Structures are given as structure tokens and as C-alpha cells.
């Protein structure tokens, strides 16, 4: 009897011990689950700087304050070897690639504009006449993401939280607001210049502009930037850029030279009024003003569902196109952008809470130096004379085929065939592609030529061929794709351009900062398509469907 009683006590104690252990493990598991659930940032902020080369981080570093770029690098994770993995490095493909985690070969945005084979006309990436403008009587608001073939990280966020998350996208440029917002954004806003000076949108997103947007437009904030643009610091301190007066910059209408100070109030009418702000750092300031108003009025980051604010600073690109990579104007624009980032971070700290949001900063493409400037330094470069090689090409077509009509359309770097004409001549498309490829390859400014057949039936995993294949979309790209020699562009004698597979266009910043992000840096290669899956991993949600990138493990805690 005593033995039975003793055994019962031992079993009872064992069960109690097991129960206590199980409860402890259960509580620990629940605690871990709670940590994982509550660790999500309240707000994701995506910052894209249009036309930002990586070396703008380092070249102007001595002039930056402690609260902008320096803060992000000091307290965040800096990917120093970050690149685009395709050749068409321009605004629309850049924004689409960052937010879908894929390349133009998948998301279909092969340029800002492209030739549509079905309608046989040029189309704009976000143009959509089936929707109406909001905030303007012009057609500037007739936009939507309908030409995007793949959902974005912002779409995945919205669906993950059953559409309870808010997504707001903002940029001076319409395409830079529409594409990041994806298909499900609550709102996308862009700036209508000319005589209006207003932030506008499309009925794709809403029936009417929110009151806070109308109030902002009526506040006179845009008009307050109608003032002289002079250098932030003494101009003789800008040793990281070339002379202020040189032949590689384009002056504003009404100016005698492209030099500081730029008296906007005096040249206002000659430069389409509010349109002028886009070509100055004040366009970036206005973007920050509006983004800060959105944070407050949309109550971003105020509940348990992660929100997303997409901001694209476009004026850097417009300044770069006018004045060039080596200009005092571009240096001053970045020094002022540094201050805008500080303003934005301080707003996020106060409204959302320091340590409660995650921000990343990158660019949609880089830029090359003005070819004339490179030639002056004896660096190989040049301007492509398209008219000159078009004349030679037409002679080739006439001599070999008896007609030039086998080419239906010519874009700068794409040739589209007229298949009916080729069939009527009894020719094989593949043979015509190859013959034309060999011909164009003999033209001086051309470095490489690819055929659609090559890109459809070959697989490249490195080099320029790989980048071209990631650019090629079978329904939208041409039958012939051209690549210029390094340092060559079909642009102008002034200002900088982009759109190549070379490092000056593909190497851009990528910095992660905030909740869930380690402090540090890496020189290992990262890809622009890695941003979306990294954010998906951070949030514990599905990756964008068409994504080709991988999470950057070193970034995440």
C-alpha cells in the first residue's frame, strides 16, 4: 500500500513538473510569437532619388550634415555595390523594378515610352484615358498602372493585411508616383506645374481629392519657392564639382548663362512658371512638404497594420539633365537634398516614433558625364549621330531588299519589323534579323547588336548580354536591340543622360535604416530587385509574384 502511494505521488509530481514545463514552453512560444508579431515596423518609407549615382554619397560627403545621408549610413546598413541588372536604366523601368522585385523582361515597363506593336503607335508607361484627372482640368491626371505586368511590394503589403494597410505614393513625376503605388494604392499624387502648381491624382485611386490635399494646394506653399536659387554654401567651397561657367550646361530661358544665382522670380514666365520649380532643388523641398503633410493627415503608422509611404525625389534628375553630373548645380541640389532627408527623418521620429519605422533609400538609375567633358579629359566618349547612321541604314535596306518598309518603326535603340512586308518578299525573319545585326554592328558608335531570336532562344547569366536579356520583353521590345559604346549617348552637348548597361548608370545607392535593420555595410554585390524580397522577409509576407531577386540576409536582424 505504501509502495502504491509512493508511486502515485511520484507520478503526480512528474505530471506536475511536466505540466509546468509545458506551460513554460507554451508561454515562451507565445512570447516569441508576440515579439515576431509586434516587431513589424509601423511604417515602411521607400525613398527613391532620381538619377543618383552611388558616388554622390562619397563625393559630397564632407558637406553633408549629421542628420541626413550621414545618419542613414551611420545607423543603417549601406550596400555599397548595388546595381541594376538590366540595360534600360531610366525612370519608369527603375521604379517598376524596385517595387516589383523584377526586371523589364517580367514587369513589362521597358522604358518611359515604347512602341506598341498592337496599336502601332508610341505609348506612355502610365497613360490611361479611361480615368479622369483630379485637381486639374487638364488630362495630366489620366494615369494608372495598367501597363505594369507584375504586382508590387506595396500590393503584397495591402493584400497581406486584408487591405487595412495604407499605401501613399508621392513624386513630382506621374510615373514615379503611379508605379511604386502598384495596383492597390490608396493614393498616388504628382505635381502639375505650368500655371497651376498643384498636387493632382487620378480617379483610378479615388473619386475626389482629400480635403487635406486641396488645403495644401491652396496654402501657397508651391508659390513660396518662387525665389532666387543660390548656393547653400560659398560657391568656392564646392571643390567637388567643375567650374560654374562652362559649355556643358544649359541655361534657363531668360538667362545669359548657366551660372549662379538663378533668379527664378525674374525668369518665371519664360520657363512655364511652376514648371521651373521641377528643375531646381525646390522641387525636392516641395515633395518633402507634401510627404510630411501626408504622414500627418493620413495618420500613417498609427495602428497595428504596417503602412507604406513611397517618395520619389525627381528634381535631382531634372537638374542633372540640364546641368550635368559635374555641375555646381548638381552638388548644391544634393547638399539641399541632405537637408530634406533630415527634415523627413525628424518628422518620422516625431509622428511615427523613433525606432518604429523602416526606411530604405535608393535610386532609379545613375548618370554619365557629358561626353564633351569626357573627351576634353581624353576619355573615350561621344554623341551618337542617329540621323547619320539612319541614312546609311536606309541605303542598306534599299540595296538588299529593294525597300525600307520592312522596318515598321525605329526607336532610339529598337528596330521593329513589318512582318507582312517580310513575308511578301519571301524572306525569313530570323535571316533578316541576323543580316541587319551584322550591318549595324559595323557602325562606329555601336558596341553590340542583339536580335529578338537571340534573346528568346539563348540564356545568358553574366555580362552585358545578361543585362540586355533582362531588358527584353517579347511582346514589347523590338526585333533588333542596340547598345552604344561606353561613354556614348544620343543626347545633347549639355547636361547628363542615362539609359545604358554600364556601371555609371547601374551603380546606385542602397541604404536600409530602422526597425529590423542591422547596422553595417557590405561591398558584396546586391541587386535592385533584392529590395522587395528583403522587405517581404522583414514583414513575414509573400514575395511579389514576378520577383527575381533574393532577400539580402546581411541587412536583416
532: which 3 cell numbers? 522587395
In the sheet where 407-410 sits, what is the strand order?
Answer: 407-410, 414-417, 480-484, 446-451
Number of H helices, E strands in the chain: 20, 20
Residue 8 neighbours by CB under 8 Å, 6+ apart: none
Is the CB of residue 467 less than 8 Å from the CB of residue 548? no
Peptide bond into 186 cis (omega under 30): no
Q: Which of 536, 535, 547 is nearest to 106 (CA)?
A: 547
Report the alpha-carbon distance of residue 540 to residue 424 in Å, rounded.
56
The C-alpha angle with vertex 90 and arms to 165 and 311, in degrees rounded to 5, equals: 30
Is the CB of residue 511 less than 8 Å from the CB of residue 360? yes
Question: Among the options 91, 100, 306, 529, which is catalytic?
Answer: 91
Q: Which residues of 102-116 are buried (b: 16+ CB within 10 A; e: fewer)?
A: bbbbbbbbbbbebbe
Tell me which residue has cell 533668379. 263
Q: Which of 157, 46, 154, 148 is nearest to 93 (CA)?
A: 148
Q: Which of 454, 447, 444 is nearest to 480 (CA)?
A: 454
Is the CB of residue 519 less than 8 Å from the CB of residue 274? no
Report the alpha-carbon distance of residue 312 to residue 160 in Å, rounded.
24
Report the alpha-carbon distance of residue 477 to residue 428 in Å, rounded.
19
Crossing angle of helices 531-539 and 153-160, in 10° steps, is 20
138 is catalytic: no
- The length of the chain is 557
DSSP states of 339-399: HHHHHHHHHHIIIIITTSEEEEEEES------HHHHHHTT---EE--HHHHHHHHHHHHHH
Residue 177 neighbours by CB under 8 Å, 6+ apart: 169, 170, 171, 188, 189, 190, 310, 312
Positions annotated as catalytic residues are 91
Amino acid at each position: 500500500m505504501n509502495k502504491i502511494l509512493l508511486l502515485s505521488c511520484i507520478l503526480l509530481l512528474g505530471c506536475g513538473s511536466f505540466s509546468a514545463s509545458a506551460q513554460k514552453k507554451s508561454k515562451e512560444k507565445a512570447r516569441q510569437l508576440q515579439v515576431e508579431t509586434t516587431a513589424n515596423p509601423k511604417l515602411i518609407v521607400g525613398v527613391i532619388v532620381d538619377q543618383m549615382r552611388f558616388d554622390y554619397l562619397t563625393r559630397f560627403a564632407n558637406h553633408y550634415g549629421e542628420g541626413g545621408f550621414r545618419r542613414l549610413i551611420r545607423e543603417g546598413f549601406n550596400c555599397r555595390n548595388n546595381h541594376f541588372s538590366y540595360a534600360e536604366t531610366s525612370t519608369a523601368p527603375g521604379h517598376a523594378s524596385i517595387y516589383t522585385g523584377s526586371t523589364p523582361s517580367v514587369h513589362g515597363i521597358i522604358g518611359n515610352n515604347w512602341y506598341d506593336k498592337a496599336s502601332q503607335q508610341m505609348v506612355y508607361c502610365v497613360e490611361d484615358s479611361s480615368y479622369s484627372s483630379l485637381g486639374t482640368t487638364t488630362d495630366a491626371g489620366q494615369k494608372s498602372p495598367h501597363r505594369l505586368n507584375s504586382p508590387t511590394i506595396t500590393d503584397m503589403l495591402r493584400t497581406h493585411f486584408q487591405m487595412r494597410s495604407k499605401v501613399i505614393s508621392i513624386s513630382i513625376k506621374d510615373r514615379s508616383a503611379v508605379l511604386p503605388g502598384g495596383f492597390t494604392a490608396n493614393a498616388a499624387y504628382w505635381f502639375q506645374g505650368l500655371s497651376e502648381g498643384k498636387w493632382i491624382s487620378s480617379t483610378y485611386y479615388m473619386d475626389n481629392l482629400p480635403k487635406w490635399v486641396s488645403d495644401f494646394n491652396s496654402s501657397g506653399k508651391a508659390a513660396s519657392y518662387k525665389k532666387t536659387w543660390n548656393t547653400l554654401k560659398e560657391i568656392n567651397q564646392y571643390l567637388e564639382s567643375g567650374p560654374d561657367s562652362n559649355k556643358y550646361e544649359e541655361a534657363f530661358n531668360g538667362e545669359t548663362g548657366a551660372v549662379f544665382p538663378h533668379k527664378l522670380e525674374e525668369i518665371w514666365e519664360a520657363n512655364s512658371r511652376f514648371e521651373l520649380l521641377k528643375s531646381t532643388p525646390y522641387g525636392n523641398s516641395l515633395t518633402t512638404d507634401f510627404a510630411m503633410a501626408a504622414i500627418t493627415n493620413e495618420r500613417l503608422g498609427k495602428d497595428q497594420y504596417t503602412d507604406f509611404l513611397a517618395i520619389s525625389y525627381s528634381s535631382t534628375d531634372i537638374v542633372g539633365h540640364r546641368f550635368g553630373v559635374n555641375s555646381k548645380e548638381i552638388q548644391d541640389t544634393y547638399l539641399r537634398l541632405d537637408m530634406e532627408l533630415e527634415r523627413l527623418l525628424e518628422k518620422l521620429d516625431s509622428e511615427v516614433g523613433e525606432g518604429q519605422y523602416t526606411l530604405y533609400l535608393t535610386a532609379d538609375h545613375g548618370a554619365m558625364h557629358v561626353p564633351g567633358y569626357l573627351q576634353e579629359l581624353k576619355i573615350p566618349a561621344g554623341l551618337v549621330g542617329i540621323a547619320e547612321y539612319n541614312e546609311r541604314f536606309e541605303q542598306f535596306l534599299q540595296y538588299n531588299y529593294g525597300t525600307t518598309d520592312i522596318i515598321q518603326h525605329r526607336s532610339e535603340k529598337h528596330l521593329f519589323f513589318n512582318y507582312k512586308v517580310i513575308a511578301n518578299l519571301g524572306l525569313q525573319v530570323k535571316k533578316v534579323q541576323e543580316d541587319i545585326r551584322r550591318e549595324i554592328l559595323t557602325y562606329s558608335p555601336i558596341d553590340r547588336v542583339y536580335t529578338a531570336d537571340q534573346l528568346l532562344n539563348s540564356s545568358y547569366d553574366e555580362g552585358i548580354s545578361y543585362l540586355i536579356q533582362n531588358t527584353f520583353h517579347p511582346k514589347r521590345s523590338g526585333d533588333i536591340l542596340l547598345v552604344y559604346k561606353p561613354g556614348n549617348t544620343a543626347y545633347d552637348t549639355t547636361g547628363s543622360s542615362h539609359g545604358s548597361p554600364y556601371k555609371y548608370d547601374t551603380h546606385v545607392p542602397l541604404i536600409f535604416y530602422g526597425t529590423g535593420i542591422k547596422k553595417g555595410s557590405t561591398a558584396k554585390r546586391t541587386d535592385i530587385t533584392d529590395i522587395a524580397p528583403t522587405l517581404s522577409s522583414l514583414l513575414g509576407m509573400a514575395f511579389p509574384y514576378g520577383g527575381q531577386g533574393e532577400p539580402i540576409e546581411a541587412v536583416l536582424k
